[in-house]
Amino acid sequence: MQNLYKALLSKVNEGNSCVMLTYLDVHNDQKGSIEKKILLTSENIKNKSFPFCDDVYEIISLSLETGKLEMVNVEENKAILIEPFLPNPRLIVFGGGHIAKPLSEFASRIGFSVTVVDDRPSFANADRFPEAENVICENFEKSFSSINLRQSDYVVIVTRGHRHDGVVLREVLNYDLSYMGMIGSKRRVDAMMKELLREGFAKDKLDLVHSPIGLDIAAITPDEIAISIVSQLISCKNKGILRKFGKNFVLPEFDGEVMEKISEKSSIPKALITILSSKGSVPRKAGAKMVAYFDGRTIGSIGGGCSEAGVLAKAREIMMDRGFFIEHVDMTGDVAESEGMVCGGVMEVLVEVF
């Protein structure tokens, strides 16, 4: 199972949408054993690579299309948990200067996987961009061979000069992307667009470039400019999701650190804790995960507070065994009041012991 989560992490980081199937054998009182897990990519689902009946494939496809977990009862005391996993959108920032630094930080905080590219070692390094997934120190033209741009990517061009911006934009225009944005004054941008038209670039492709970049919030400082850019990224991303999937879509959470920890070998028992469903006012929604170790360490969160502490205490009680249990968490009444919630909610939580 640990190798399967390692494969899941790898597939999602490569930009693949995936579904994990967990086969549960329910013994009694919401407890039981895990029979097996199967990892499917969107390509596997499209090609029906595994011998499932059409009804199961229909539910799997629905889970991927809506972003929602599904629990399917296949026979008495047996069920399949279907979990969709979508890659975090990737943001490639060309330029490592004074705007790139807060931009990388803010974009990472809202769920983008950030790559920063600059040709200066003093600007392109992990110490300067600790939150970035990748920092590439390379000539801008040569950097594209190691980035492998894909349609789901977002690109922001904030290099140190108009000439470098032009070099990057000319290359970026060869790709179909979710977002292209370039910094620059209106006068300079207009001049570059006219030059690119003369070079043969299509006007409809140039019209896709957000430039001047960012939402108009009268930004002045680097932090403010970064906020205006991130706001535009959020707008493009979420409007794109609504156009593609509709209002019923829920973006499933994908915590890379949790996946890394569950895929690592451990000398002590550990448990993977997943919110199966939630109603009302709860801190985290269905799909949120955390890892808990027998020695008390935790990675991630399903909401914190005394409700999480209660789940962790029960998880620790069964960590010497193998299997799973499903815990009903009631956060209404006194529990909601103690955790400062205006109104409470309830959750169903799955605890799997590895």
DSSP states of 53-77: -HHHHHHHHHHHHHT--EEEEEETT
Quote the pLDDT of residue 103: 98
- Higher pLDDT residue, 71 or 331? 71
Quote the pLDDT of residue 47: 92
Quote the pLDDT of residue 283: 82
| Cα distances (Å, whole numbers) of residue 92 to 36, 113, 290 | 37, 8, 28
Quote the pLDDT of residue 343: 55
Quote the pLDDT of residue 242: 77
Where in the chain do CATH 3.40.50.720 domains reside?
Answer: 90-244
Helices (H) and strands (E) in the chain, counts: 12, 15
Mean pLDDT check: name the lowest of 259-263, 273-277, 284-288, 340-344: 340-344
Region 255-278 average pLDDT: 92
| Dihedrals phi, psi of 18, to nearest 5 degrees | -135, 160
Query: pLDDT tier at 318 (50, 70, 90 boundaries)?
Result: confident
Quote the pLDDT of residue 339: 57
pLDDT in tens, 106-138: 999 998 999 999 999 999 999 999 999 999 999
Query: pLDDT tier at 337 (50, 70, 90 boundaries)?
Result: low
- The Cα 199–Cα 186 span in angstroms is 20
Burial grade of 7 (CB within 10 A; 0-12, 13-18, 19 or more): middle
List the Cα angle 19/323/87 in 5-degree steps. 20
Quote the pLDDT of residue 6: 93
Is the model's pLDDT at 202 over the cut of 90? yes
Quote the pLDDT of residue 122: 96
Please identify which residue in the block is written with the tokens 């879509």: 249
Quote the pLDDT of residue 334: 61
Quote the pLDDT of residue 22: 96
Quote the pLDDT of residue 244: 72
| Cα distances (Å, whole numbers) of residue 33 to 27, 37, 103, 276, 290 | 7, 12, 45, 17, 20
Quote the pLDDT of residue 289: 95
Quote the pLDDT of residue 112: 94
pLDDT in tens, 204-245: 999 999 998 999 999 999 999 999 999 999 999 988 877 777
Quote the pLDDT of residue 341: 54
Region 298-321 average pLDDT: 89
**In angstroms, how far is CA 192 from the centroid of its own chain?**
34
Region 10-18 average pLDDT: 89
Is the model's pLDDT at 60 over the cut of 80? yes
CATH architecture of 90-244: 3-Layer(aba) Sandwich (3.40)
| Dihedrals phi, psi of 295, to nearest 5 degrees | -85, 5
Region 150-162 average pLDDT: 93
Is the model's pLDDT at 81 over the cut of 80? yes
Region 253-280 average pLDDT: 91
Region 191-200 average pLDDT: 95
Query: pLDDT tier at 340 (50, 70, 90 boundaries)?
Result: low
Quote the pLDDT of residue 246: 72
Region 144-163 average pLDDT: 93
Quote the pLDDT of residue 333: 65
